[in-house]
Amino acid sequence: MRQYLILLMCWAPFSLAADTRITREGLDFYLSARTPEQTNAFYSARGLPLIAVQEIAKSCFLTVGLHNRRADTVWLDLAMWRFADAGGREIARISLPAWTARWKAMQVPLAAQATFGWTQLPETRDMQPDETVGGNVPVVPPTGEFTLTARFPTGAAGTGKPIEIRVPGLSCPRDGALK
């Protein structure tokens, strides 16, 4: 647990308020939605230019932490995560390649792009026994509450029984736009 908290400090040094913690079939799952002020403070402190921080504040950042407490491999694959609003309409996730394209168009320095990349939850990753992984998952801000359904294949080849985690009642706090 200590390792897990340390990891969250690395990937997400925001306050741990209004969060979700679920343990299912040996997988610890943590999620917290961030306010624009929190993402502003987080990325400004890491040297991202204002133009990038303002762009980031337009999205909804979900901080996620995972800890594989199983004896076998658990697979993280963000393509297997679905965000949907109350009407079942899909909410778009903004992938790291999509951010990279934005940063290139905005001429954000490579160093800032690299730092941003390290704060994101990996698109795909095998999680070895006792391994932790964490980072941010940005989505296009929905107007109301939404639900995350995430599937995690298991086993060395990913063919074991998948773990499914469902988090209803999520929302994106908006505490004021950046000037």
Partner 1 sequence: MKQAALLLLVLAFGVAQAAEVAPPPGLLKLDGRPAPALQLADMDGKSVNLAQLKGRWVLVHFWASWCGPCRREMPTLPKLINAFPPERLSVMLVNTAESDEDVFTFLASVSPELTTLMDRDGQVTERWQPRGLPSTFFVDPQGRLRYQALGGRDWGSVAYLEFLRELTRMKN
How many CA within 13 A on the CB side of residue 67?
Answer: 16
The C-alpha torsion from 14 through 110 and 120 to 172, rounded to 10°, is: 60
Check binding of 125 to partner 1 (CB under 8 A).
yes
Question: Closer to partner 1 at the Cβ: 35 or 73?
Answer: 73
Check binding of 128 to partner 1 (CB under 8 A).
yes
Angle ∠(123,162,168) on CA atoms, nearest 5: 75
Of the candidates 42, 48, 177, the one whose C-alpha atom is nearest the C-alpha of residue 111 is: 48
Residues 72 to 101: which contact partner 1 by CB under 8 A? none
Residue 9 Cβ, how far from partner 1 at the closest point, in Å? 3
Residue 3 Cβ, how far from partner 1 at the closest point, in Å? 7
# chain residues binding partner 1, by CB under 8 A: 26
Contacts of 144 (CB under 8 A, 6+ apart): 85, 86, 171
Check binding of 45 to partner 1 (CB under 8 A).
yes
Check binding of 9 to partner 1 (CB under 8 A).
yes
Site of interaction with partner 1 (CB under 8 A): 3, 6-7, 9-11, 13, 45-47, 109-115, 117-118, 122, 125, 128, 130-133
